[in-house]
Structure 1
Amino acid sequence: MTRISNTLLWLLVSVLAARLGLSALLPFADTTEPRYAEMARIMAETGDWITPWFDIGVPFWGKPPLSFWTQALSFKLFGVSEFAGRLPSWLANVGIVWLVYNLRRYLHPDPLGHGAKTQGLWAALIYATTALGFLSAGTVMTDSFLALGTSLTLVSLIIRLQGGPPLWGWLFFIGLATGLLAKGPLVLVLAGLPVFLWALAFNRWQPLWHSLPWVRGLALTLLMSAPWYVLAELKTPGFLDYFIVGEHIKRFVVSGWQGDLYGSAHDFPRGTIWLYLVLASMPWGLAAMAGMVRHHWRGVHKLQHWLSGEHNVSTLVVLAALAPALFFTLAGNILWTYVLPGLPFVAVLASGLLTPDTGQRLPHPTVAASLLIPVLGTLASGWVYLYPEQLKTERELVMTASQLAGRSSARLVYTGEPPFSARFYSAGRADSIDVESLRLQLANGTLRRPLAVAVGKNQHDLLGQLQQITDPVDENRRYKLFLLEPMTNNTAGNSNSDRKLPAFHYTEKHQQPLS
């Protein structure tokens, strides 16, 4: 392996290792990560591997269970922690990196004659250091597994079209099953759309048919995925109607769709997905476009070379890169993570347009570009680690409440629905309390047990009442935490009784907040 290949390999391993380390550093911040992590924790705790549960008695019909299965298994193996929750996404990302490497190796070499391994490493490094590629590698989310499924499907087909081993033909159908269990029928669209357009444009139906074991392969896909769909519908009837019709049709064609049972619909201007593609592929997408503009004739020559290979297979790479943006162009209810399945193919295209130097070392701009997102991500993570109160996370507040519970058996309650991060970090023990009920107990002195009460900072009336008689023991970006204890006989004569409601004992005013 040449020195440039060694440098690329070293950079790639360093980026992946750094992302893995950051996965253990940051707390879960509401809403996506702790929501999915809490559902995985419940799955691991209850042993219910069929239905992910959104809350007690509320099944989660929004996504299939593959990501929850992997996270729950990780919790069982390594304990419940941020690292264990994020590890499956990191492993899925490593799988995508490996697929990008293999795809680039099997494509025809560039005009400068670089080795296949070098080009494979170069493409893999580009993907690993895109903005969304780097972020998704250590985030509790379902999109990583959808991207793994679509990448495995399309990469397998392209490699087979290039004469790769028959095993890749079977991996095509395993990729479909992975996507069906990760995010549902969307994988059929994101993988099927570029294949259909490519076969239609170049009349490649016959090579497409002969490259894959269609009958046995589809049977394998159904065998791997269909049983869960059947069991899920039998266990919680109504799942298929909500998931297939609601999540896959109404979500994208009905602006501000109100049928979402687990969140709120988004309504962005049509075409926003293309802006997301640019942002998600930073810095490489813009660098590749700038390279084409700066060296117009060379860029055109490279594109012609890419698009003129056997079976026009590189056009399929282009279509795979653009398929998510094309599909979601007219959708308003979108997130930037929706372009993730296209990024592996964007990286392969960028690797052909941004060919590294043929010398013994990578040029400095190339190294700088590959380090930009990892360095920015590391710096941002370090800042958040030092100042976790800047995030919408309840980790520190729950830790304080746990200390109070150890000292006074106080139960953690929120004046409103507890955020998902509170539910996760309290292992499901965080509860809610009605504000009027709390006020009545304070006024009548009828509190039966100590409470660690998290009061929203927007609840000014209640905060004012509590702060007249006690200071919060902790606070974060959204809540202030108060320790409230029932009055006992030995506190009845306390000298600060004039600052307490009748028959009720509060935390002393001079007590220091717990850290």
Structure 2
Amino acid sequence: MTIVPFYDTSEPRYAEIARVMAQSDDWITPWFSPGVPFWGKPPLSFWSQALSMSLFGFTEFAARLPAWICLLLSNAILIAGLVRLKGPRIAVLTAIVYSTCTLVYISSGAVLTDAFLALGTTLSLVSFAVMAGSARFPSKASGGETAFLYKPRTGSGLWWRYGFFIGLAIGLLAKGPLAAVLILAPVMAWHVLNRKAGSLSTLPWGRGLALAAALSLPWYILAEIKTPGFLDYFIIGEHLRRFLDPGWAGDLYGSAHQRAYGTIWLYWLMATFPWGLIALATAAGALRSARIRCALASTARDPLFAYWLAAALFTPLFFTFSANILWTYLLPSLAGFSVLVAIFASRMERQFNRAGQVLATASAIVPLCVLAFSAIVWVSPDLRNTERGLVQHAMLQSEPSIPLLYLSNPPFSARFYSAGKVREIAPNSLKIAAECSPPFYLAIPKDQQRRVAELLGRRLDTIYSNKRYVLVKITSSGDCGERPLKKAQINRLALDGHLPPPDSDTAAVH
């Protein structure tokens, strides 16, 4: 969270939106760029990241801290609910499995919106489970094994009764209406399959939905009033056209992530690693091992098995026939998956003496891999696309007031690390700026280095380079007199952010 830089595009984009929110004190509309509102996501993650940066500074750690807090809260919810339902052993195993799934572990130290969605869905998931079957009664199951039966209990505590709806409000403010679909689908599946074991009447639906609406709807109304058109783009575009139209070209903030149908299951293997592969391999081993079959059968007899299974499978099933997907979409499904793995692991511990050692080894894989990657990045931070080193190098020169321009749209990491001070310069303005403006630093895409040198008619000495850009210093050639430039032209370039106005203080413009 501290030493890994922001790699373009997702992390620095969200971090820059939160930074602008913190500096502008506009807590209603997230801004994608000056004058362009960001309608792609609700503001809960930006609120928390902006608040964190206001408290701790505009650093990677401050921007990533809220996601880590989300992981802690999600684990606290899982442990509190499952201690009540299944006892402390399965509760702790669930938290271990959940925390060390690849996607969860990475998301807990990243500037993304998905950790907040997962917090909301996990709270709703566990709250309903507690309400549907909080009382635990041992009884003899077939084969002489002790099973647990669940009976709904109305006096399960005010927190769990309304936690479901608070989780719904968190999801609506973190991701939007999709959260309601992901939360309600497992509940409806449970209700259809187990009408007697768990009833929808265990939740205060009227007052609960009113609470969720009171917490979430005011922002939606204010956002539409402040920037009309938000609701149409966000509700219809982001939640329908994005997933139903593989070639949807309406994305205002990037390009569609078009993938082959069914790719979500490949992403599932990545997101659940190593636990997904271990679970599949163990299930395959049931073909040859009676003890594994016994553990699987015992897991399937759990009275809430169908509920946890629905929570684990609905999200990947939902996105199976969607082409515009990311692997982070799977994060809400990993809490239910982790509960199932934990229950199965506890059954395996009864059957195999070394099962605990396998669990300990598996839980160390992802943290050790991420630690190794962090060490590599510490040595070579420009391993991937980031502008941290280039921007810091330009700002730490002996003349820090010299502006930094990009011969392209500045990446979001450049915007964040420069606190929004970097500017873009168009190729057709570059020659005029090089002839008539005060000195400036120029970041040139590596594949355009020769063309820029030919355009300016001079040799360009590289003072820094990273994976994408080379940094050079451009000083006036003194050729302004050969082709006089009208003051209005220079002012127009200055207003576009390409060079300082004539006779102005360069530092002030920077």
Separation (CA, whole Å) in 1 of partners of 2:182 and 2:457: 55
Separation (CA, whole Å) in 2 of partners of 1:200 and 1:103: 23
Separation (CA, whole Å) in 1 of partners of 2:367 and 2:261: 31
Separation (CA, whole Å) in 2 of partners of 1:353 and 1:219: 38
Mapping 1:277-316, distance limit 5 Å: 277-296=268-287, 297-309=290-302, 312-316=303-307
In structure 2, the CA distance between the partners of 1:363 and 1:151, relative to structure 1 (3 Å rule), is closer
- Counterpart amino acid of 1:80? F
- Counterpart amino acid of 1:237? P
Mapping 1:453-492, distance limit 5 Å: 453-465=442-454, 468-486=458-476
Unaligned runs of 5+ in 1: 1-22, 109-115, 489-515
1:198-242: per-residue Cα shift (whole Å, max 9, x none)? 2123335x9433211111111100000000000000000000000
- Is this contact kept in 2: 1:180–1:225, CA < 8 A? yes
Residue 4 of structure 1 corresponds to none
SS in 2 for 1:459: helix
Residue 111 of structure 1 corresponds to none
- Is this contact kept in 1: 2:259–2:325, CA < 8 A? yes
- Is this contact kept in 2: 1:395–1:421, CA < 8 A? yes
Deviation at 1:95, TM superposition (A): 1.3
Residue 217 of structure 1 corresponds to 208
Residue 328 of structure 1 corresponds to 319
Of residues 294, 318, 339 in structure 1, which corresponds to 2:330?
339
Deviation at 1:193, TM superposition (A): 1.2
Separation (CA, whole Å) in 2 of partners of 1:327 and 1:219: 27
Deviation at 1:408, TM superposition (A): 5.8
Deviation at 1:361, TM superposition (A): 9.1
- Is this contact kept in 1: 2:436–2:477, CA < 8 A? no
Deviation at 1:83, TM superposition (A): 0.2
Separation (CA, whole Å) in 2 of partners of 1:100 and 1:300: 27
Deviation at 1:184, TM superposition (A): 0.2
Separation (CA, whole Å) in 1 of partners of 2:421 and 2:296: 57
Separation (CA, whole Å) in 2 of partners of 1:125 and 1:50: 37
- 1:422 corresponds to 2:393: no
Residue 502 of structure 1 corresponds to none
Residue 37 of structure 2 corresponds to 59
Separation (CA, whole Å) in 1 of partners of 2:81 and 2:281: 24
- Is this contact kept in 2: 1:384–1:391, CA < 8 A? no
1:113-133: per-residue Cα shift (whole Å, max 9, x none)? xxx212211111111111111
- 1:394 corresponds to 2:387: yes
Separation (CA, whole Å) in 2 of partners of 1:300 and 1:220: 45
1:469-506: per-residue Cα shift (whole Å, max 9, x none)? 23111111000111112368xxxxxxxxxxxxxxxxxx
Deviation at 1:162, TM superposition (A): 1.5
Residue 160 of structure 1 corresponds to 131
Deviation at 1:362, TM superposition (A): 7.2
Of residues 189, 195, 203 in structure 1, which corresponds to 2:187?
195
Q: Which moved more, 1:34-43 or 1:385-394?
A: 385-394
- Counterpart amino acid of 1:185? P
Deviation at 1:167, TM superposition (A): 1.9
Residue 439 of structure 1 corresponds to 431
- Is this contact kept in 1: 2:394–2:400, CA < 8 A? no
- Is this contact kept in 1: 2:191–2:200, CA < 8 A? no
SS in 2 for 1:63: coil
Alpha-carbon RMSD across the aligned residues, in angstroms, is 2.1
Residue 123 of structure 1 corresponds to 94
SS in 2 for 1:482: strand
Residue 47 of structure 1 corresponds to 25
- Counterpart amino acid of 1:402? M
- Is this contact kept in 2: 1:134–1:373, CA < 8 A? yes
Separation (CA, whole Å) in 2 of partners of 1:119 and 1:106: 10
- 1:247 corresponds to 2:225: no
Residue 274 of structure 1 corresponds to 265
Deviation at 1:437, TM superposition (A): 1.1
Deviation at 1:194, TM superposition (A): 1.4
- Is this contact kept in 2: 1:29–1:392, CA < 8 A? yes
Q: Identity, % of aligned pairs?
A: 44
- Counterpart amino acid of 1:246? G
- Is this contact kept in 2: 1:318–1:345, CA < 8 A? yes
Separation (CA, whole Å) in 1 of partners of 2:16 and 2:61: 14
Unaligned runs of 5+ in 2: 135-155, 479-510
- 1:96 corresponds to 2:67: no
- Counterpart amino acid of 1:424? F
SS in 2 for 1:54: strand
Separation (CA, whole Å) in 2 of partners of 1:87 and 1:467: 48
TM-score by length of 2: 0.85
SS in 2 for 1:483: strand
Separation (CA, whole Å) in 2 of partners of 1:357 and 1:209: 34
Deviation at 1:284, TM superposition (A): 0.8
SS in 1 for 2:474: strand
Deviation at 1:290, TM superposition (A): 1.6
SS in 1 for 2:415: helix
Deviation at 1:467, TM superposition (A): 9.4
Separation (CA, whole Å) in 2 of partners of 1:256 and 1:190: 24
Of residues 149, 165, 172 in structure 2, which corresponds to 1:173?
165
1:56-95: per-residue Cα shift (whole Å, max 9, x none)? 0000000000000000000011111000000000000111
- 1:452 corresponds to 2:457: no
In structure 2, the CA distance between the partners of 1:117 and 1:203, relative to structure 1 (3 Å rule), is closer
Separation (CA, whole Å) in 1 of partners of 2:474 and 2:194: 73
Deviation at 1:305, TM superposition (A): 3.2
Deviation at 1:244, TM superposition (A): 0.2
Residue 83 of structure 1 corresponds to 61
- Counterpart amino acid of 2:190? W
Q: Which moved more, 1:466-475 or 1:232-241?
A: 466-475
Deviation at 1:301, TM superposition (A): 3.5
Of residues 110, 133, 139 in structure 1, which corresponds to 2:110?
139
SS in 1 for 2:467: coil
Separation (CA, whole Å) in 2 of partners of 1:362 and 1:84: 39
Deviation at 1:263, TM superposition (A): 0.5
- Counterpart amino acid of 2:41? K
Deviation at 1:306, TM superposition (A): 3.4
- 1:410 corresponds to 2:396: no
Separation (CA, whole Å) in 2 of partners of 1:41 and 1:264: 23
Q: Which moved more, 1:274-283 or 1:49-58?
A: 274-283
- Is this contact kept in 2: 1:270–1:330, CA < 8 A? yes
- Is this contact kept in 2: 1:409–1:450, CA < 8 A? no
1:349-389: per-residue Cα shift (whole Å, max 9, x none)? 11122237469997433222111111011101110121112
SS in 2 for 1:265: coil
Separation (CA, whole Å) in 2 of partners of 1:328 and 1:194: 15
Deviation at 1:446, TM superposition (A): 1.4
Deviation at 1:248, TM superposition (A): 0.2
Separation (CA, whole Å) in 2 of partners of 1:218 and 1:122: 32
